[in-house]
Amino acid sequence: MANNRASEESRAEAGRKLFAGPVEFLMGVAELKQLPEGFPAEVAFAGRSNVGKSSLINALTGRHDLARASNTPGRTRELNYFIAGEGRLAIVDLPGYGYAKAEKTAVKIWQRLIRSYLKGRPGLKRVFLLIDARHGPKGKDEETMSLLDEAAVSYQLVLTKSDKCSAEELEGARAAASQTVRKRPAAYPQIIVSSSKSGHGIAELRAEIAGLL
């Protein structure tokens, strides 16, 4: 019991230190040829438009406006790279999916870019797939999970906006997410429950990323 507690505290401290240093925007990637050379480790954040990716990345890094949240869903069309841990870690903000008003041609270009990225980055340690805790996994989320399974890329579900749910609703969302990942070969079993507003789950997410290094 004491060993487990010490291990968790060690992981939490590693996560804190990782994001205590400088975190900077590196570049936006619209085409594969623009991808930077590989880093010791990359993690990517994916999710439906307006699921709270930018807010979560800002909370994760302790910055207010590192990742720019848009009032227009589906506006982010590039893979945005951020660098942390003195160059040891790249954080990639993937374009949001599932926004109905985006042009079909643009959607296909985004999908092609993301597919190629997922299959061509050997340093990609994990994709954190964000799910709105109020709604649970939807059809487009399942499609993305299938894409990640096909690409054999490890991914982990992160429930966002938990501050907007009751305890009962949150438990239901966690149960639904857990049931979903049980049948997914590339899914990491542990579900992270988070809130960018309250800070809930942020230390856990930092520790998880630090562990991948």
**Which pLDDT tens digit goes with each residue over 115-130?**
888 887 888 999 999 9
Whole-angstrom distance, CA of residue 160 vs CA of residue 126: 17
Tokens standing for residue 194:
């988070």
Write b or e for each residue in 113-130: b if 16 or more Cβ atoms lie within 10 A of its Cβ, otherwise e: bbeebbeebeebbbbbbb
Q: Which domain holds residue 15?
A: 2-212
**Among candidate residues 155, 153, 126, the one with its CA nearest the CA of residue 213:** 126
Whole-angstrom distance, CA of residue 75 vs CA of residue 35: 20
Tokens standing for residue 3:
């060993």
Q: What are phi and psi of 167, to 5 degrees?
A: -60, -40
Q: Give long-range contacts, CB 8 A cutoff, 24+ apart: 163-171.
A: 163/195, 163/197, 163/198, 163/200, 164/133, 164/134, 165/133, 165/134, 169/133, 169/134, 170/133
Whole-angstrom distance, CA of residue 130 vs CA of residue 82: 18
* Collapsed DSSP state (helix, strand, coil) of residue 96: coil
* Residue 109 exposed, middle or buried by CB count within 10 Å (0-12, 13-18, 19+): middle
Q: What band does 72 get if pLDDT is binned at 50, 70 and 90?
A: very low
- The pTM for the full model equals 0.90
Whole-angstrom distance, CA of residue 185 vs CA of residue 149: 6
Note the pLDDT tens digit of each residue in 15-46.
Answer: 999 999 899 999 998 888 888 988 889 999 99
**Among candidate residues 57, 49, 55, 53, the one with its CA nearest the CA of residue 138:** 49
How would you write 129-154 as a 3-class SS string? EEEECCCCCCHHHHHHHHHHHHHCCC
List residues bridging with 11 in a β-sheet: none
Q: What band does 71 get if pLDDT is binned at 50, 70 and 90?
A: very low
Note the pLDDT tens digit of each residue in 1-20.
Answer: 666 777 788 888 999 999 99
Domain count, the chain: 1
Cβ within 8 Å of residue 115, ≥6 positions away: 147, 151
Whole-angstrom distance, CA of residue 213 vs CA of residue 210: 5
- Assign residue 108 the CATH number of its domain: 3.40.50.300
Note the pLDDT tens digit of each residue in 169-204.
Answer: 999 999 999 999 999 999 999 999 999 999 999 999
